[in-house]
Structure 1
Amino acid sequence: MQLLDGKKISQKIKDEIKLTIDQLIKQEKRIPKLVVVLIGDDYASHLYVKNKIKACQEVGIQGEIIHFPTSVTEVEVLQAIEKLNQNSEVDGILVQLPLVENLNEFKILNTIAVSKDVDGLTNINAGKLLQGDATAVIPCTVKGIIALLKAYNLEVVGQDITIINNSNIIGKPLAMILNNMGATVSLTHKATKDLKNYLSNADIIVTATGVYQLFTSQNIKADVIIIDVAINSSKDKKLVGDVDFESVKDKVKAITPVPGGVGPMTIAMLLENLMLLYHDK
């Protein structure tokens, strides 16, 4: 079994970005800036945002949080984003998801200027991705998964890949990219009928459902590659993914650990996307 160490690969990416930032500082040029819009008091969201800002600081990128209470109105959020759109010092805008129930996610995300859409979630970026446009900003988690597969020279051409997630953030864009790369992709979710059949035939499984022990070694074939995107809490309060790691570890060809797999790659790709937007100005 090969452990797909996202922490190790992401550190290499961050080191390269830091070198670029150091050069910008020496040349007395403007430093890239990321602004994260955080709404409410969800513990996980606050933790994720904290890690994103910490990563910015580690490489020398400017990171700022705009925090709204749960009671914020949609108009207030939209006005804040429009203001950031007009600010030439801001290179990337990220709205931390999920949003509170009274806010329209579609409307808020599509208020972000395409030139500052650091997580690639606007309609225009989604359309570019669908058409295979090389200028599309790829959602950070998706980009992190692809980068991890490439870093370990894991072939996707001709492979049967089952994705257990049909969201606009992970499942749908990942399916499009893998399909364009030559894979045969099955896009499923936790309510898919006969999910076990999809799993048992897959060469690569990407899972992101938030359901711990969604499947075990009995549901997969030998030498499968598992990309576990989920972060859950087990009964003994440990961070785990969707997969029963101990059950599958002796049967798989490669697997991402949780934590330390896709999570660090997502943050590294956020920084990489920000640098792309910065240089595109």
Structure 2
Amino acid sequence: MQVLDGKIASQSVKEQLRQEVSQLMAEGKRAPHLAAILVGSNGASETYVANKVKSCAEIGFESTLVRLEETVSEEALLNTIQNLNNDAGIDGILVQLPLPKHISEQKVIETIHPDKDVDGFHPNSVGKLVQGLETFVPATPYGIMLMLEHFNISTKGKHAVVIGRSNIVGRPMSVLLSSNHAYGNCTVTICHSHTANLKEICLQGDIIVAALGRPEFVKADMVKPGAVIIDVGITRVNDATAKKGYRIKGDVAYNEVATVAGAITPVPGGVGLMTIAGLMKNTLVAYKRRIS
């Protein structure tokens, strides 16, 4: 059984980016610049954003973190995004989700200029992805594709089962895995809360992407021997025996599934790190388009 270690794969991607940025700086060009907006002080979001800022520093990117109170109005948040849209020194913009309930996530996504949409959520980006055009790919699916490439996981002709249909992971993941490229060409089945015979479908999967947000949902008896398991889930589960009072769980029951799978991503240390790698690659692309 192979562990698809996100730390190893993400470090490889970041080292490539670091070398490219170093060359750009040697040519007298400015560094790429990513701006992140964090609304409120959600613990998980704080961690995610801190890791993104840290990755920028490691690669040589500039980064700006804009902190807004949880009570910020939707209008004020949208105005903040517009200011970043108009800032010639900013190449990429991300707004950390989830947002407070009084703010429309869709409005926020659509307000980010498509040229700076490094999270790949804007309808323009999604439409181009579906049509197979060059675009920003949502960071988590992009990171997964980079992981498959790094570990040279064979996908051509395989049956991929994607559990979850969100616009952030499930839907774009299905498009990428079914697309005609080196780490695509899968036959893809998308499963969700209304799927009948989910276990039977999963047992047919050569590749399973679990992205439904339910801790340890995928059990060993749902996995075909030798299957590749990509665990996108990351949930804080209360645990009084843990030092922090909680443990991070994925959507896959790792210990038991690992005895059946041919390859599996750990949680933490798997897809989450690759999401940041995908975001960094998107930011460099945005930068290059702007300075070309």
* Normalised TM-score (structure 1): 0.96
What is the aligned counterpart of 2:274 among 245, 265, 275?
Answer: 265
**Does 2:186 align with 1:197?**
no
Determine helix, strand or coil for the equivalent of 1:153.
Answer: coil
Aligned-residue sequence identity (percent) comes to 39
Q: Distance in 2 between matches of 1:63 and 1:250?
A: 41
**Does 2:218 align with 1:209?**
no
CA-to-partner distance for each residue in 1:7-29, whole Å, 9 max, x for gaps? 10110111111112222332331
1:57-206 equivalent positions in 2, closer than 5 A: 57-133=57-133, 135-180=134-179, 181-206=184-209
**Does 2:255 align with 1:246?**
yes
Q: Distance in 1 between matches of 2:216 and 2:12?
A: 31
Q: Which residue of 2 aligns with 1:274?
A: 283
Q: Which residue of 2 aligns with 1:221?
A: 224
Q: CA deviation at 1:87?
A: 0.6
Q: Distance in 2 between matches of 1:104 and 1:56?
A: 28
Q: Distance in 1 between matches of 2:67 and 2:197?
A: 42
Q: Which residue of 2 aligns with 1:8?
A: 8
Stretch moving more, 124-133 or 10-19:
10-19
Determine helix, strand or coil for the equivalent of 1:201.
Answer: coil
Give me the CA root mean square deviation.
Answer: 1.3
Which portions of structure 1, spanning 4 or more consecutive aligned residues, are displaced by more than 3 angstroms?
233-236
Q: Distance in 1 between matches of 2:59 and 2:218?
A: 38
Q: Distance in 2 between matches of 1:238 and 1:101?
A: 26
Number of positions where the alignment pairs a residue of Structure 1 with one of Structure 2: 280
**Does 2:33 align with 1:30?**
no
1:40-51 equivalent positions in 2, closer than 5 A: 40-51=40-51
Q: CA deviation at 1:239?
A: 2.0
Alignment-mate amino acid for residue 188 of structure 1: C
Structure 1: stretches of 5+ with no match in the other structure:
none
Q: CA deviation at 1:143?
A: 0.5
Stretch moving more, 262-271 or 17-26:
17-26
Give yes or no for contact 2:212–2:251 (8 Å, CA) kept in 1: yes
Give yes or no for contact 2:210–2:218 (8 Å, CA) kept in 1: no
Determine helix, strand or coil for the equivalent of 1:163.
Answer: strand
Q: Distance in 2 between matches of 1:7 and 1:191?
A: 34
Give yes or no for contact 2:216–2:249 (8 Å, CA) kept in 1: no
* Normalised TM-score (structure 2): 0.92
Q: Distance in 2 between matches of 1:121 and 1:280?
A: 18
Q: Distance in 2 between matches of 1:108 and 1:233?
A: 26
Q: CA deviation at 1:215?
A: 2.3
Q: Distance in 2 between matches of 1:29 and 1:132?
A: 31
Q: CA deviation at 1:222?
A: 0.7
Stretch moving more, 184-193 or 256-265:
184-193
**Does 2:235 align with 1:232?**
yes
Q: CA deviation at 1:152?
A: 1.5
Q: CA deviation at 1:128?
A: 0.2
Determine helix, strand or coil for the equivalent of 1:223.
Answer: coil
Q: CA deviation at 1:191?
A: 4.8
CA-to-partner distance for each residue in 1:157-195, whole Å, 9 max, x for gaps? 211111111111100111111111321111112453322
Determine helix, strand or coil for the equivalent of 1:161.
Answer: strand
Q: CA deviation at 1:238?
A: 2.6
CA-to-partner distance for each residue in 1:221-271, whole Å, 9 max, x for gaps? 111110001112344533221111111112111000111111111111111
Alignment-mate amino acid for residue 261 of structure 2: V
Alignment-mate amino acid for residue 84 of structure 2: L
